[in-house]
Structure 1
Amino acid sequence: MTMMMMMNRREEVDSRLLRLCRALPKVELHAHLNGCVRPSTLLELAEECSRRGLLSLSDFQAAVIVKEDRSMEECFQLFGLIHLLTTDHCILTRITKEVIEDFAAENVVYLELRTTPKRNEAVGMTKRSYVEAVLAGIKAASTELSLDSYFDHKEDNIECPSQRYQRKANPQIHVRLLLSIDRRETLEAAMETVHLAWEMRDLGVVGVDLSGNPCIGDWETFLPALKWARQHGLPITLHCGEVPNPREVEAMLAFQPERVGHACFLESPDLSTLLANRIPVEICLTSNLLTNSVQRVRDHHFGALYNANHPVVLCTDDPGVFSISLSYEYALVSTHFGLSSLELLHLSRNAIEFTFAEDRLKQMLQSFFDGAKYAAECQCFQFSGVP
């Protein structure tokens, strides 16, 4: 998210279309943990910390915490509160569990959460214990169960994919974790983060992200850490082109990360590089709209990339702060770019290829989506058309 002025309101979408998009199985690859926290949880935690004298609630407007239509100034106020509250192990575990529950309720079947490991000496928090607390939240949400059960059947009672999809309308969500390097950090701190990602790769950590205020620092500061991650087999995604910065965008694309986020400000040569290398783009429509990276949804570069058959993935960025959901983002795409229900389903299924998940899980998810596709074609899947 960039430090630009926020537009007054989010786009409205048809309520029926939104319900249909909730029924669609979805993949989320660009969600910041701190930006996903429930406002109700934030208010509860803030009030508790205020009673204990750990912060002054008067410094934060309670109305802003539960408000949906926030200004950009109010968004950053909210992020400030979130950062104060997420340096406690138990709170980290709780909000992680709740975030996963919220995505599961939206029928997200695969989620890659990203977060920057932090220190808090006052509570004995290290970067490692921070990540462990997040992983404990993932475990608490029971997200590592196999999808195999959704395809089990007796040999004498074989079901077609549409029947299996109807029977299991809410598939188990699978969650993986990306560790983020913040542009405000030092190279030493970045190296610690990528080392942690590598050491915890068998615990659900699947890659590395570079994020933070795009107006701060130089991404090349972190190149040694990113190169180390690549040499050790860790996939990389970069926040790229959030603000106009042609030199940085050119260098980032030359690095050829596995994915990039946003990619709002690409000049013609950079766009050619992106297309030629088929680098998947994590698209965050509402985030880009509300931060004025684009002026109107229909002008968003999603349309040009999608029409060029370029790899794109719809994502939310900070759904708690922006008061949106991934279902809402799919509804926006249908409304402004005319995608049908089956086209939305294909868009979501194609995202599996660009995940950092292990091959076996990708194959399981693809099999599940193929069942959903068959159900849609048979009109058994309750997502039979877009108004």
Structure 2
Amino acid sequence: MRKFIDLHLHLDGSVPVATVKKLMQEHNLPKLSDQELAHELLVDNSCASLEQFLQKFALPNQLMQSKHDLETIVFDLLCELKKQGLVYAEIRFAPQLHTKKGLSQRQVITATISGIKKFYQKQKEDKNQPELHAGLILCLMRFANNEAENMETVKLAKDFLGKGVVGLDLAGAEGPIPNINYQQFFKQAQQLNIPYTIHAGEAAGPDSIRQALEMGAKRIGHGIRCTEDQELTQYLIEHQIILECCATSNMNTKAFDQIDSYPIKKMLHMGMRVTLNSDDMTVSNTNLSHEYQLLEEKTALTPEEETTLYLNAVDAAFTTPDEKIRLRALIQK
């Protein structure tokens, strides 16, 4: 079984369907048929933009407003990832989105860490498979008037750094508000020595990537549209900036239109530090194994190229030197 690493995985976009059903029942929500549930949770070919894609997060977010629900979702997701062969995952979410029923951001983070700890306890029973280790990336949101919430997330990331949290991110609809407007939060993150990645170059073009770089990002969430700008591409190669590519998701959001010409293989051969990730397993109806299989079939991705993608992910991971040694050993076995 292959050993996978996912650096770009959204919690609210990856709630297992079985968990959604279980929590809907617990909350006495109206029962939906499998077809109705799929319509609520999964995108189809009619999805025309990132904004439309983001509408599929409404139901999962409704089920992520209590400590029990958050702990359950993290635990169930990690069990699912372990079955798929993952050995390391960074799971991202915005604590401020889960405070609608009275939880504080701190309580939200504590509940998700509790889900990881519960999974680690269960994992001890399984001696046959390599361990799956997970870290949390806390997302700031691109909203118009949430400066206080975003700054609170930055400060909490510092409080929980190394205790379950591994870094920060900036997420939400790209375009309406430019990345550079959030520079103050990442200056603060730099001062607090918090690693971070920034969503850019997905719905918005190369300029959004330039802004993320100006804000000190060494990792870019997506970044696929860098290929539209040769000078920017060269800069990314020279500075070994990591791109967290997500193929199926990029098709869903129309950031890229043909999987056959998805450029990850080409980018790899240009010397770019690219990684392959799932983004939103439930919304995009995918997983990391499927992503690799898809690119093998459609772009002739080779085992050697896949190993490079895995090793790029190890280098980019917001984790300890010891964990990187463990991951490299697992990949090179």
TM-score (norm 2): 0.88
Task: Quote the Cα distance in structure 2 between the aligned partners of 1:110 and 1:337.
Answer: 25
Which residue is 1:234 aligned to?
194
CA contact (8 A) 2:41 2:282 kept: no
Residue from 361, 368, 371 that aligns with 2:323: 361
Which residue is 1:307 aligned to?
269
Change (3 A) 1:200 1:64: same
Relative contact order, higher structure (CA 8 A, sep 6+) = 1
- TM-aligned CA deviation for residue 88 of structure 1: 1.2
Task: Quote the Cα distance in structure 1 between the aligned partners of 2:42 and 2:10.
Answer: 19
Which residue is 2:142 aligned to?
183
Task: Quote the Cα distance in structure 2 between the aligned partners of 1:89 and 1:70.
Answer: 35
Using the TM superposition, name which of 194-203 and 345-354 deviates more. Answer: 345-354
Task: Quote the Cα distance in structure 1 between the aligned partners of 2:122 and 2:155.
Answer: 23
Task: Quote the Cα distance in structure 2 between the aligned partners of 1:307 and 1:136.
Answer: 41
CA contact (8 A) 2:248 2:291 kept: yes
Pairing of 1:238-257 with structure 2 (within 5 A): 238-257=198-217
RMSD between aligned residues = 2.7
Task: Quote the Cα distance in structure 2 between the aligned partners of 1:300 and 1:132.
Answer: 38
Change (3 A) 1:25 1:56: closer
Identity %: 27
Q: Which amino acid is 1:179 matched to?
A: L
- TM-aligned CA deviation for residue 337 of structure 1: 2.8
CA contact (8 A) 1:143 1:172 kept: no
- TM-aligned CA deviation for residue 92 of structure 1: 0.5
- TM-aligned CA deviation for residue 333 of structure 1: 2.1
Task: Quote the Cα distance in structure 2 between the aligned partners of 1:63 and 1:323.
Answer: 9
Provide the secondary structure at the position in 2 that maps to 1:257. coil
CA contact (8 A) 2:44 2:252 kept: no
Alignment pair present for 1:335 and 2:305: no
CA contact (8 A) 2:203 2:253 kept: no
Which residue is 2:69 aligned to?
91
Provide the secondary structure at the position in 1 that maps to 2:9. strand
- The alignment covers a number of residue pairs equal to 325
Which residue is 1:262 aligned to?
222
Which residue is 2:114 aligned to?
136
CA contact (8 A) 1:64 1:70 kept: no
Provide the secondary structure at the position in 1 that maps to 2:129. coil
Which residue is 1:105 aligned to?
83
Provide the secondary structure at the position in 1 that maps to 2:120. coil
Q: Which amino acid is 2:78 matched to?
A: I
Alignment pair present for 1:221 and 2:181: yes
Alignment pair present for 1:72 and 2:47: yes
- TM-aligned CA deviation for residue 194 of structure 1: 0.9
CA contact (8 A) 1:261 1:283 kept: yes
Using the TM superposition, name which of 356-365 and 214-223 deviates more. Answer: 214-223
Which residue is 1:325 aligned to?
287
Task: Quote the Cα distance in structure 2 between the aligned partners of 1:268 and 1:342.
Answer: 26
Using the TM superposition, name which of 66-75 and 303-312 deviates more. Answer: 66-75
Change (3 A) 1:126 1:57: farther
Pairing of 1:190-201 with structure 2 (within 5 A): 190-201=150-161
CA-to-partner distance for each residue in 1:313-357, whole Å, 9 max, x for gaps? 110000111111100111122223323334323421332111010
Using the TM superposition, name which of 332-341 and 83-92 deviates more. Answer: 332-341
Change (3 A) 1:252 1:282: same
CA contact (8 A) 2:249 2:280 kept: yes
Pairing of 1:6-155 with structure 2 (within 5 A): 23-51=1-29, 61-65=36-40, 69=44, 71-72=46-47, 76-118=54-96, 123-142=101-120
Change (3 A) 1:343 1:246: closer
- TM-aligned CA deviation for residue 249 of structure 1: 2.8
TM-score (norm 1): 0.77
Pairing of 1:344-359 with structure 2 (within 5 A): 344-359=306-321
Change (3 A) 1:282 1:228: same
Task: Quote the Cα distance in structure 2 between the aligned partners of 1:83 and 1:66.
Answer: 11
CA contact (8 A) 2:4 2:85 kept: yes
- TM-aligned CA deviation for residue 66 of structure 1: 7.1
Using the TM superposition, name which of 297-306 and 102-111 deviates more. Answer: 297-306
Extract unaligned runs of 5+ from structure 2.
none
- TM-aligned CA deviation for residue 276 of structure 1: 2.0
Residue from 207, 229, 237 that aligns with 2:167: 207
